[in-house]
């Protein structure tokens, strides 16, 4: 396994083509806006090395028998699925943000199932290819981006019907040694912190869309791949001196649009090629795993609840009954989220490939809750924090000889607490509820791993209404129930 | 019966997903209180007298599959740690007085 330092060094060896604010980013690792997101991924390496976390952060490879980072592991039993949920909470609490590495883990696990299923039907060799690739990932402890979301253009049209065929990533040329693909993947979390990018189709497909039914993996700096970084609220605070106004000075996340400008993919890196009838299965398996992955928001919720309690104490309001009740409500919501991600793992089952997959109904129910509860937790945190969270002057004003004395005097709360500590905890709440980290805690909770309606469709499909009706009819005395 | 040297105790932690207390601080306390009576090493070390498993909560979910046949003592909070310290000190005292050292968890 790599150390955090080795991981950082490995990124420096990559030749990414990254753009931000209209300019090429020459040094991605040290860029002050991107760097906190690299720190968050590095934390997944650091914690795997520490005895007090290794029971969750590491696993035994079913291929080599070696100890590996759990983020590269294929779930071999229900215990692995449960530990994945626990790892999400652990990492969310350690970083207070998206640590970006679960998406690659989810892509690997989904492919371990679907490549097996394709081979069974078509007599192909995808699973063998995939296992070889997985071994490479595990042996080198790589971070993988799982790239599913196409730009999608007009949502009413299938991929082949789009005015611009590139709005879904597709094959534009077949060669003896591989294929050439063109298109893009949007909202790619952690893309420029990843060694590899694993591409999957974004929706179920029909025969007309077979050129879009492709899955493959490439080095993230492969020729023709370029990255355009997304903005985050308050992102340029990371360019300012000091660290108070950043809220979380250590960690963050990032998203990027990844453009595939006629990129060559060798056959040995292709795991699905025109088997369109399996696109939906790959999407569904990946989405189910990834909806479980939102256990991370419980860990971030731990941080926000801790911040709200601290703010209440700094304000001298922690004994007020309504404040206590709000903290109870925040914990209730947060632990309800945890119930969902633990239950979908605990009710997991073994697929024919040998990989264990979560209970898909419960995973979708969990993610549906994630689209809602963090918003309410954030609302309560802002309620407890008070308006100063958004009216507070800048760090430079607190250190200025002209204004610092006034700010320290008039923004004091509990006299036992330095004013600056009170400001720090308020800035963290701001960061999590409307700053850079709100991208991960709120809007990513809404749309990441599928927008709310995607889960409702799955809940509708997976809820066994026939059995519910039969139970009701039997109890009511209806014959032949 | 082992010789009179300090106990070699292998430390094994659960993963710490949502610990109810500071596991590292409790282990530090145990190490300080048992200084001279025990040395603490990684749980995959050789010639261990026992494995001390530090769980963060009553779920006690640490993976112990690698420790078949070993003597295992689990703590899941500061209270357990106090009992462990007292037990080791008591047993070590008994050992120095010529009694057999019994480290089975009670």
* Secondary structure of chain A as H, E, C letters: CCCHHHHHHHHHCCCCCEEECCEECCCCCCCCCCHHHHHHHHHHHHHHCCCCCHHHHEEECCCCCCEEEHHHCCCCCHHHHHHHHHHHHHHHHHHCCCCCCHHHHHHHHHHHHHHHHHHHHHCCCHHHHHHHHHHHHHHHCCCEEEECCCCCCCCCCCHHHCCCHHHCCEEEEECCCEEEEEEEEEEEECHHHCCEEEECCCCCCCHHHHHHCEEEEEECCCCCEEEEECCCCCHHHHHCCCCHHHCCCCCCCCEEEEEEEEEEEEHHHEEEECCHHHHHHHHHHHHHHHHHHHHHHHHHHHHHHHHHHHHHHHHCCCCCHHHHHHHHHHHHHHHHHHHHHHHHHHCCEECCCCCEECCHHHHHHHHHHHCCHHHHHHHHHHHHHCCHHHHCCCHHHHHCCCCHHHHHHHCCCCCCCCHHHHHHHHHHHHHHHHCCCHHHHHHHHHHCCCCHHHHHHHHHHHCCHHHHHHHHHHHCCCCCC
> Is A62 part of the annotated catalytic residue set?
no
Q: What's residue A68's pLDDT? A: 98
> Taking all residues of chain A, what is their mean pLDDT, rounded to a whole number?
97
Examine the pLDDT at B105 and tell me if it is beyond 70: no
Question: Which domains are seen in chain B, by residue range?
Answer: 7-96 (3.40.50)
Examine the pLDDT at A200 and tell me if it is beyond 70: yes
Examine the pLDDT at A326 and tell me if it is beyond 70: yes
Minimum Cα–Cα distance from A54: chain B residue? B15
- Residue B66 forms contact with A (CB below 8 Å): no
Q: What's residue B5's pLDDT? A: 82
Q: What's residue B97's pLDDT? A: 62
pLDDT in tens, A448-479: 999 999 999 999 999 999 999 999 999 999 98
pLDDT in tens, A216-253: 999 999 999 999 999 999 999 999 999 999 999 999 99
Examine the pLDDT at A407 and tell me if it is beyond 80: yes
Contact A55 B17 (CB under 8 A): no
- Is the ipTM higher than 0.85? The answer is no
Q: Which residues of A touch B63 (CB under 8 A)?
A: 55, 79
Considering the four listed CATH numbers 1.10.10.10, 1.10.20.60, 3.10.20.600, 1.20.140.10, the one that applies to the domain covering A291-466 is 1.20.140.10
Q: What's residue B2's pLDDT? A: 55
Q: Which residues of B touch A79 (CB under 8 A)?
A: 63
Q: Which residues of A touch B66 (CB under 8 A)?
A: none
Minimum Cα–Cα distance from B44: chain A residue? A51
Q: What's residue A355's pLDDT? A: 98
């Amino acid at each position: 396994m790599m150390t955090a330092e080795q991981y950082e060094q490995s990124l420096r060896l990559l030749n990414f083509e990254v753009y931000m604010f209209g300019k090429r980013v020459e040094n991605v690792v040290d860029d002050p806006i991107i760097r906190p997101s690299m720190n968050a991924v590095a934390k997944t390496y650091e914690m795997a090395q520490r005895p007090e976390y290794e029971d969750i952060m590491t696993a035994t490879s079913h291929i080599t028998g070696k100890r590996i980072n759990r983020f590269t592991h294929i779930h071999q039993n229900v215990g692995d699925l449960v530990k994945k949920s626990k790892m999400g909470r652990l990492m969310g609490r350690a970083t207070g943000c998206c640590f970006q590495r679960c998406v690659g883990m989810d892509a690997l696990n989904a492919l371990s199932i679907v490549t097996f299923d394709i081979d069974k039907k078509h007599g192909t060799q995808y699973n063998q290819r995939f296992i070889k690739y997985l071994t490479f990932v595990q042996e080198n402890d790589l971070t993988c981006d799982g790239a599913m979301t196409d730009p999608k253009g007009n949502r009413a049209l299938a991929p082949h019907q789009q005015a611009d065929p590139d709005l879904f990533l597709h094959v534009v040329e077949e060669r003896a040694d591989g294929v050439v693909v063109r298109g893009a993947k949007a909202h790619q979390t952690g893309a420029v912190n990843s060694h590899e990018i694993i591409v999957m189709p974004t929706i179920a497909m029909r025969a007309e869309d077979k050129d879009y039914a492709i899955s493959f993996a490439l080095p993230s700096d492969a020729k023709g791949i370029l990255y355009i970084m997304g903005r985050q609220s308050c992102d340029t605070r990371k360019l300012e001196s000091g660290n108070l106004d950043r809220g979380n000075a250590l960690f963050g996340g990032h998203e990027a649009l990844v453009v595939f400008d006629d990129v060559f993919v060798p056959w040995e890196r292709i795991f699905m090629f025109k088997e369109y009838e399996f696109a939906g299965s790959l999407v569904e398996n990946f989405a189910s795993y990834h909806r479980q992955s939102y256990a991370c928001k419980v860990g971030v919720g731990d941080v926000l609840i801790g911040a709200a309690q601290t703010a209440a104490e700094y304000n001298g309001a922690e004994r007020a009954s309504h404040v206590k009740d709000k903290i109870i409500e925040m914990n209730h919501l947060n632990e309800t989220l945890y119930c969902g991600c633990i239950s979908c793992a605990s009710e997991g089952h073994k697929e024919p490939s040998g990989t264990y997959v979560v209970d898909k109904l419960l995973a979708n129910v969990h993610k549906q809750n994630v689209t809602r509860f963090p918003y309410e937790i954030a609302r309560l945190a802002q309620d407890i924090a008070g308006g100063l969270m958004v009216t507070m002057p800048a760090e430079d004003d607190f250190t200025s000889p002209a204004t610092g004395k006034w700010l320290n005097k008039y923004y004091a709360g509990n006299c036992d607490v330095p004013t600056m500590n009170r400001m720090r905890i308020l800035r963290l709440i701001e960061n999590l509820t409307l700053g850079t980290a709100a991208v991960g805690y709120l809007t990513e909770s809404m749309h990441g791993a599928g927008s709310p309606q995607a889960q409702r469709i799955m809940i509708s499909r997976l809820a066994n209404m026939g059995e519910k009706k039969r139970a009701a009819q039997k109890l009511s005395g209806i014959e032949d129930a | 019966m082992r010789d009179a040297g300090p106990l070699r105790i292998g430390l094994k932690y659960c993963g710490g997903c949502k610990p109810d207390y500071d596991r590292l601080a409790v282990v530090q306390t145990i190490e300080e209180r048992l200084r001279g009576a025990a040395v603490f090493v990684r749980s995959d070390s050789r010639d261990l007298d026992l494995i001390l498993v530090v769980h963060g909560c009553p779920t006690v979910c640490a993976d112990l599959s690698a420790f078949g046949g070993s003597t295992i003592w689990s703590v899941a909070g500061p209270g357990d740690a106090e009992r462990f310290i007292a037990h080791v000190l008591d047993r070590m005292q008994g050992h120095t007085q010529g009694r057999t050292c019994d480290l089975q968890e009670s």
